[in-house]
Amino acid sequence: MNTSIIQSRPDFAAIAAWIPQGSSVLDLGCGDGSLLRYLRETREVRGYGVEISDANIAACIANNVNVIQNDLESGIADFEDASFDFVILSQTLQATRNTESLMQEIVRVGREGIVSFPNFGYWKNRLQVMLGNMPVSDELPYQWYDTPNVHLCTLDDFEFLCAHLEIRILARHVMANGNDVIVMPNLRGSTAVYRFRRDA
């Protein structure tokens, strides 16, 4: 199971690489609990997920993952300051409404935050826009009219938001087709994972 998860979600391996054994983790929008299960099996984390969908709640429970049914944008207010080593938001940032306040909540509840998102500045996305259409790809599989994504951004945009919110980026891992991207990441990377904390 572990290998298949890592193949289908390359950002999971990148996230796991940053998480020491035995950490406490809050996964916002945790889906069916795959990441938390993977982190429990490989990192022995103590974790909780927040999820809104009924099907995912039942799936998390089947995966033996702690899950709290709530809207992640309002539900995170229930968590106490610095109550987790890591708060993770994987491939969900672009679908959040109050993205700015959510970023602040992540660094309030977590000693560190980890966020992964599709890079809208990826050259294939730029190309599709240049040719006259909204991008549709593996990372952005929706049409413009049915997409849940309301706050898409590029790596540069995200880093600008962090600076604006006085959030310090600790590390960045950019990938395309499962491979690391070092050179010109904002153009050549399709997915990015960031690790950050409150700049205090």
Question: Alpha carbon 1 to chain centroid distance?
Answer: 21
| Cβ atoms of residues 192 and 119 within 8 Å | yes
Q: Binding marks (x or -) toward other proteins, 10..49, rule CB under 8 A? A: --------------x---------------------x-x-
Q: How many chain residues touch other proteins (CB under 8 A)?
A: 21
**Which listed residue (3, 8, 21, 54) binds other proteins by CB under 8 A?**
54
Nearer to other proteins, 57 or 140 (CB): 57
User: Residue 79 CB, nearest distance to other proteins (Å)?
Assistant: 7
104 belongs to the binding site for other proteins (CB under 8 A): no
Distance CA 165, CA 182 (A): 26
**Which listed residue (61, 82, 150, 170) binds other proteins by CB under 8 A?**
61
Nearer to other proteins, 43 or 172 (CB): 43
Nearer to other proteins, 83 or 128 (CB): 83
| Residues between 62 and 91 with contacts to other proteins, criterion CB under 8 A | 62, 64-70, 78-80, 83
| Cβ atoms of residues 165 and 100 within 8 Å | yes
Rg of the chain, C-alpha, whole Å: 16
* CB-side neighbour CA atoms (13 Å) of 123: 9
Query: For residue 183, what are its two tokens?
Result: 């050179």
Neighbour count for residue 148 (Cβ, 10 Å) = 9
User: Residue 60 CB, nearest distance to other proteins (Å)?
Assistant: 7
57 belongs to the binding site for other proteins (CB under 8 A): yes
| Cβ atoms of residues 151 and 159 within 8 Å | no
SS3 assignment, position 134? coil
Q: How open is the CA angle 57-71-153, to the nearest 5 degrees?
A: 110
User: Residue 67 CB, nearest distance to other proteins (Å)?
Assistant: 5
Question: Which stretches of the chain bind other proteins, using CB under 8 A?
Answer: 24, 46, 48, 54, 57-62, 64-70, 78-80, 83
